[in-house]
Structure 1
Amino acid sequence: MQATKTHIPDVIILEPKVFGDDRGFFFESFNARTFETLTGVTRSFVQDNHSKSARHVLRGLHYQIRRPQGKLVRAVQGEVFDVAVDLRRSSSTFGQWVGVTLSADNKKQLWVPEGFAHGFVVLSETAEFLYKTTDFYAPEYERSILWNDPLIGIDWPFEGEPKLAAKDAQSVTLGEAETFD
């Protein structure tokens, strides 16, 4: 597996070593020792989530203000544009974002640490998306930042309006959001 730090060094792209031939492929999608060695992250994952979404569905930008979740995410079917936004006020990259295309074909994963909002938009007809999280879902602490907040300025790779859940359509801007110290 190879790890690549992004311009926000705590957000890391992971690319597995894939063994393939005319029968198909095999790769190790997660190994705790390798993950810790490559990233320096010593968290345990406590919950796995699996979602399926249609083209232009945008989920996010979600985070939990208490009981924050680190997320290791990947697409196992289709293609998404995945985004992490730094919500740590003490960070030199506060309000900045990282975006990467994750797909079943490229098999890349993204480590989104605690203290970040996370979201993605589906670029293929459908996509199935997996999340490993470092804490349990706590709906009472869930918050959402507006996907098109001009202060953040995410360059989403699609035209028009995304398909949003009602809660995501009512998200707040970064200036209005509860953030991390």
Structure 2
Amino acid sequence: MKVAFLVAPEGVEQVELTDPWQTVKDFGATPELVSTDSGTIQGFHHLDKGDTFPVDRTVDSVSPGDYDALVLPGGVANPDFLRTNEKAVAFAKGFFTAGKPVAAICHGPWTLVEADVVRGRTLTSWPSLKTDIRNAGGSWVDEEVKVCDAGPNTLITSRKPDDLKAFGQALTQALKSAGSGGK
């Protein structure tokens, strides 16, 4: 089982990448870092630079068919950059078309708003996305984790790093339901 983590070259909230990444590994699946550019991405601890991480593949060389699920970490700049990249948006949207699990935390749902896949779904996020989600036809709730099974796929969303434990538990459950692999 392979899980794509879609991130921009800069601006990802590091813990929202590393914590779910470890969750996927602990489950027994293989995480892959997908970005718009090759090389490395720069993680952040809020506004301060964190570690760099090697990119496994670029959006130019992958399709949702290569993966069993998608994770969209947050950070303000990360999804703001991704939502302006047509290939990144199409890649994210493809998981909905294929009926595969998608998990987004904090500002991560901005990419989903751009992909026009939140209509009719209930999500949570960082509070500043509330209006964007509602304007895109979704419902916004202030909850630690929200699992929405509207449509053929499971959408998992959380608000912030403090919600990572619940986010990870919901992600693990979605991976179990998605099929093969894991524990």
Shorter-chain-normalised TM-score: which range? under 0.3
Structure ranking higher on relative contact order (CA contacts 8 Å, 6+ apart): 1
| Structure with greater proportional strand content | 1
Q: TM-score, normalised by structure 1?
A: 0.26
